[in-house]
């Protein structure tokens, strides 16, 4: 059983490592880039999953934390201020600042629930974007709508993820290197998510989602635990944002619109709220499918009708909306909802029988 | 008079109103260590309000209460749970989409410490604590008699089982005072008898029980002392036999007939 599992893990690891080259060979360079973006979105979705999926707090402004991470990286690693701080300083710093913003947003909204919380977080997301858009006067900080360009590539020591290398006759490009970097971070985020989910903290989050009053009556400090959810989610958003800035080399406020927040939320909801696997699936599908559709819509119309009737771009959003409705109708819990988790301790029932006679003793 | 050292919970002139409605008016009573204390009264008499005040869900408007030697006027629910008051709810409030076992494990939150770091690294102490949490949760399922259901989601349990699970979850917080809001509501006669046995077992283990109940037979057979609320006022208090003969109580609650037990 253990052997079986570890061999499964090995297969998965090899597949993940080979994936960018397979994609490259089959679909071309552009698709490896899309895979990179998919990983960034998966990180975002996993962060939002902690807030929405575990703790049940509907956050419609989540992209703001992505923006905070991205701009932290952009401001500290670009000619904007002439600062070129290294990645291993700027990325954690971006995560920390995003975390701070998470607490900042969390603190005043703690008493709000449901619709009210959604509206306030939506406002928060827009405020951040508008701030970034207008913070070019009186002192130019963010360069306003033009955004910040010529951002330093992600690099560690002398190794830059933005260059191409020739190793053992293999040409390894920047998109491949970024893939591995993002994959490492995504795996870390998945690891953290799963560990937290199956812990005292994770149970407290779910308890708050299920019934906040009962949770507080059971001794859970709902204020702190909710703030922790906001902070953790924002941290993941900040890391993803920093990586995004280094990868793109350019950030501008329009990358952080409400539509992006909704997109990330859709990944969580469509994939399966509260289930890490489902959220990953949602991220992959919602990045890959629209791209696929964009590429296919033109040629298909050409073949069927002889001309392009509807602009592929607008058709893409139409199909996206339709897909959302269909999934919500047929799989309201998401494509891959969290099943009742099986834990290691369920395996042995013999313990149960031994304890049949044990009487609960309050003095313990 | 009971000496102060024997009192676990003491309410002094507790008042609570909602707008113009007085839910509790100057209620004073005390509960002694190790007793089963019943709280009865007609619908809307303020019993659940009193529960909510004592468990921190409502803030009281006047008066104060002492619990385990500490005075409270305003307090958060989780701090009162920490201090040792655990409760169940009249309309069951379990974590519906968590398993029975997980519900009880949430109850252990208060008495465990693992934080983010422990959750991520799963160091030896965190693992030991998690094991103990599971162990205690299982013991409690056995203790309340629903051990066959540990993997069942709370919402899929029968009504009686849900009531028991709520008690188990409350016991998981290691309370000094267990406050039960109509635990027998909706139970059949057999289940009520089993509940009575469970409550006696809980009391025997040293936990004081505060009980709101409409089932007069259960109250009379189980409680050491009973208080009667009517329109937010305490109209009687004493051993069940006395209270039952109290004319004010008969008028307010039991109806005209002296033996007015309605099952």
Query: Looking up tokens 């009487």, which residue turns up?
Result: A359
- Tens digits of residue pLDDT in A135-145: 998 889 999 99
| Close Cβ partners of A98 (under 8 Å, ≥ 6 residues apart) | A65, A68, A69, A72, A234, A235, A237, A238, A239, A241
CB contact under 8 Å between A200 and B175, yes or no, is no
Judged by average pLDDT, the poorest of A111-125, A245-259, B157-171 is A111-125
Share of chain A above pLDDT 70, in %: 92
CB contact under 8 Å between A220 and B110, yes or no, is yes
CB contact under 8 Å between B95 and A206, yes or no, is yes
CA distance B202 to chain A (A): 9
A355: which DSSP letter? G
- Tens digits of residue pLDDT in A54-78: 999 999 999 999 999 999 999 999 9
Judged by average pLDDT, the poorest of A218-232, A250-264, A315-329 is A315-329
| Residue B128, both tokens | 């030991």
CA distance B259 to chain A (A): 37
CA distance B205 to chain A (A): 6
CA distance B134 to chain A (A): 8
B122 contacts in chain A (CB < 8 Å):
195
| Close Cβ partners of A280 (under 8 Å, ≥ 6 residues apart) | A42, A45, A46, A190, A271
Q: What residues in chain A have their Cβ under 8 A from chain B's Cβ atoms?
A: 192, 195-196, 199-204, 206-207, 210-211, 213-222, 228, 232, 340, 345-346, 351-352, 355-356, 358-364
Percent helix / strand / coil, chain A, rounded to 5: 70, 5, 25
| Residue A52, both tokens | 């929405």
What residues are paired with B30 via a beta bridge? B10
Structure ipTM: 0.91
Do β-strands B21-32 and A77-78 pair in parallel, antiparallel, or remain unpaired?
A: unpaired
Instruction: Note the pLDDT of residue B217.
Output: 83
Torsional class of B75: left (φ above 0), alpha (ψ -120 to 50), beta (otherwise): beta
d(CA B36, CA B227): 11
Q: Is A242 helix (H, G, I), strand (E, B) or coil?
A: helix
d(CA A224, CA A193): 18
Using CA coordinates, name the residue in chain B closest to A356: B142
Using CA coordinates, name the residue in chain A closest to B111: A219
Upstream peptide bond of B65 is cis (omega within 30 degrees of 0)? no
Residues (pLDDT < 70) of chain B are 1, 253-263
CB pairs under 8 A between A and B: 141
CA angle A305, A307, A313 (to 5 degrees): 105
| Residue B15, both tokens | 């008042």
The mean pLDDT value for A95-119 works out to 91
B153 contacts in chain A (CB < 8 Å):
340
What residues are paired with A160 via a beta bridge? A155
Q: pTM for this one?
A: 0.89
d(CA A115, CA B184): 36
d(CA A307, CA A315): 15
Using CA coordinates, name the residue in chain A closest to B148: A352
Closest partner residue to A218 (CB to CB) among B114, B122, B169 is B169
d(CA A298, CA A313): 9
d(CA B177, CA B51): 12
CB contact under 8 Å between B94 and A211, yes or no, is yes
CB contact under 8 Å between A360 and B77, yes or no, is no
List alpha helices for B186-239, DSSP H: 189-204, 216-222
CB contact under 8 Å between B151 and A340, yes or no, is yes
Instruction: Note the pLDDT of residue A361.
Output: 36
CA distance B20 to chain A (A): 25
Instruction: Note the pLDDT of residue B216.
Output: 81
CB contact under 8 Å between A352 and B138, yes or no, is yes
Q: Is A344 helix (H, G, I), strand (E, B) or coil?
A: helix
The whole-chain average pLDDT of chain A stands at 87
Closest partner residue to B93 (CB to CB) among A204, A213, A363 is A213
Q: Return the number of other C-beta atoms located less than 10 Å from residue B159's C-beta.
A: 13
The mean pLDDT value for A140-167 works out to 89
d(CA B171, CA B140): 8
pLDDT band per the 50, 70, 90 thresholds, residue A111: confident
Q: State yes or no: pLDDT of A178 exceeds 50.
A: yes
Q: Return the number of other C-beta atoms located less than 10 Å from residue B33's C-beta.
A: 16
Q: Is B230 helix (H, G, I), strand (E, B) or coil?
A: strand
Q: Could you tell me if A34 and A182 are in contact, meaning their C-beta atoms sit under 8 angstroms apart?
A: no
Backbone torsions φ then ψ of B229, nearest 5 degrees: -105, 145
- Tens digits of residue pLDDT in A193-204: 999 999 999 999
Instruction: Note the pLDDT of residue A322.
Output: 85
Do β-strands B36-40 and B208-212 pair in parallel, antiparallel, or remain unpaired?
A: parallel
B112 contacts in chain A (CB < 8 Å):
200
Using CA coordinates, name the residue in chain A closest to B110: A219
Instruction: Note the pLDDT of residue B254.
Output: 57
CA-based R_g, chain A, Å = 23
Instruction: Note the pLDDT of residue B1.
Output: 61
Using CA coordinates, name the residue in chain B closest to A224: B78
Closest partner residue to A192 (CB to CB) among B120, B138, B170 is B120
Mutate to test the interface with A, among B116, B164, B175 (most CBs of A within 10 A): B116
Write the DSSP string, B64-114. Answer: EEEETTEEESS--HHHHHHHTEEE--SS----TTSBHHHHHHHHGGGG---
Q: Tell which residue, A225, A313, A256, A210, has the closest CA to residue B114.
A: A225
B169 contacts in chain A (CB < 8 Å):
218
Backbone torsions φ then ψ of A3, nearest 5 degrees: -60, -45
Q: State yes or no: pLDDT of A211 exceeds 60.
A: yes
Instruction: Note the pLDDT of residue A364.
Output: 34
Q: Return the number of other C-beta atoms located less than 10 Å from residue B6's C-beta.
A: 12
The mean pLDDT value for A239-246 works out to 96
| Close Cβ partners of A108 (under 8 Å, ≥ 6 residues apart) | A120
Mutate to test the interface with A, among B139, B164, B197, B208 (most CBs of A within 10 A): B139
d(CA A40, CA A306): 38
């Amino acid at each position: 059983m253990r052997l079986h599992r570890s061999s499964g893990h090995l297969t998965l690891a090899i597949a993940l490592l080979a994936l960018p080259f397979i994609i490259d060979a089959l679909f071309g360079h552009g698709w490896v880039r899309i895979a990179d973006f998919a990983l960034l979105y998966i990180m975002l979705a996993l962060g939002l999953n902690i807030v929405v999926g575990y703790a049940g707090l509907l956050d419609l402004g989540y992209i703001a934390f992505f923006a905070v991470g991205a701009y932290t990286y952009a401001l500290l690693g670009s000619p904007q201020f002439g600062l070129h701080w290294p990645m291993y300083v700027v990325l954690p710093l971006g995560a920390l600042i995003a975390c701070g913003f998470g607490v900042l947003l969390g603190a005043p909204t703690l008493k709000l629930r449901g619709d009210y919380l959604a509206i306030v977080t939506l406002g928060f997301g827009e405020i951040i974007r508008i701030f970034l858009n207008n913070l070019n006067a009186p002192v130019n900080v963010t360069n306003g709508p033009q955004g910040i360009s010529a951002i330093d590539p992600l690099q560690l020591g002398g190794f830059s993820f933005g260059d191409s290398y020739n190793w053992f006759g293999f040409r390894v490009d920047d998109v491949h290197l970024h893939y591995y970097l993002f994959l490492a971070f995504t795996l870390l985020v998945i690891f953290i998510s799963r560990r937290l989910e199956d812990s005292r903290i994770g149970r407290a989050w779910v308890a708050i989602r299920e019934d906040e009053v009962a949770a507080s009556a059971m001794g859970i400090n709902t204020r702190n635990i909710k703030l922790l959810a906001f902070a953790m989610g924002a941290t993941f958003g900040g890391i993803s944002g920093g990586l995004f800035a280094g990868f793109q080399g350019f950030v501008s406020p329009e990358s952080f619109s409400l539509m992006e927040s909704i997109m990330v939320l859709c990944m969580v909801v469509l994939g399966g709220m509260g289930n890490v696997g489902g959220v990953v699936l949602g991220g992959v599908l919602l990045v890959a499918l629209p791209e696929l559709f964009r590429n296919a819509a033109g040629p298909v119309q050409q073949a069927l009708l002889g001309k392009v009737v509807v602009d592929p771009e607008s058709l893409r959003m139409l199909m996206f909306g339709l897909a959302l409705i269909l999934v919500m109708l047929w799989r309201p819990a998401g494509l891959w909802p969290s099943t009742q988790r099986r834990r290691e301790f369920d395996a042995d029932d013999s313990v149960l029988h031994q304890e049949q006679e044990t009487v609960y003793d309050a003095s313990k | 008079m009971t000496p102060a050292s024997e009192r676990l919970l003491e309410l002094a002139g507790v008042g609570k109103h909602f707008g113009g409605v007085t839910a509790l008016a100057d209620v004073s009573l005390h509960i002694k260590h190790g007793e089963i204390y019943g709280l009865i009264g007609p619908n809307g008499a303020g019993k659940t309000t009193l529960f909510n005040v004592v468990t921190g869900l409502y803030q009281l408007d006047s008066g104060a209460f002492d619990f385990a030697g500490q005075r409270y006027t305003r307090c958060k629910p989780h701090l009162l749970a920490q201090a040792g008051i655990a409760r169940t709810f009249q309309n069951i409030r379990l974590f519906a989409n968590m398993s029975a076992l997980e519900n009880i494990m949430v109850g252990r939150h208060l008495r465990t410490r693992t934080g983010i770091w422990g959750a991520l690294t799963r160091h030896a102490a965190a693992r030991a604590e998690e094991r103990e949490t599971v162990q205690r949760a299982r013991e409690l399922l056995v203790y309340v008699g629903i051990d066959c259901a540990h993997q069942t989601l709370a919402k899929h349990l029968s009504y009686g089982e849900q009531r028991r699970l709520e008690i188990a979850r409350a016991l998981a917080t290691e309370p000094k005072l267990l406050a039960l809001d109509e635990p027998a509501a909706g139970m059949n006669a057999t289940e009520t008898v089993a509940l009575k046995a469970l409550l006696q077992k809980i009391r025997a283990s040293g936990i004081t029980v505060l009980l709101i109940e409409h089932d007069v037979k259960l109250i009379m057979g189980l409680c050491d002392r009973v208080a009667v609320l009517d329109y937010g006022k305490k109209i009687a208090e004493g051993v069940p036999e006395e209270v039952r003969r109290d004319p004010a109580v008969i008028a307010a609650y039991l109806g005209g007939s002296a033996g007015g037990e309605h099952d």
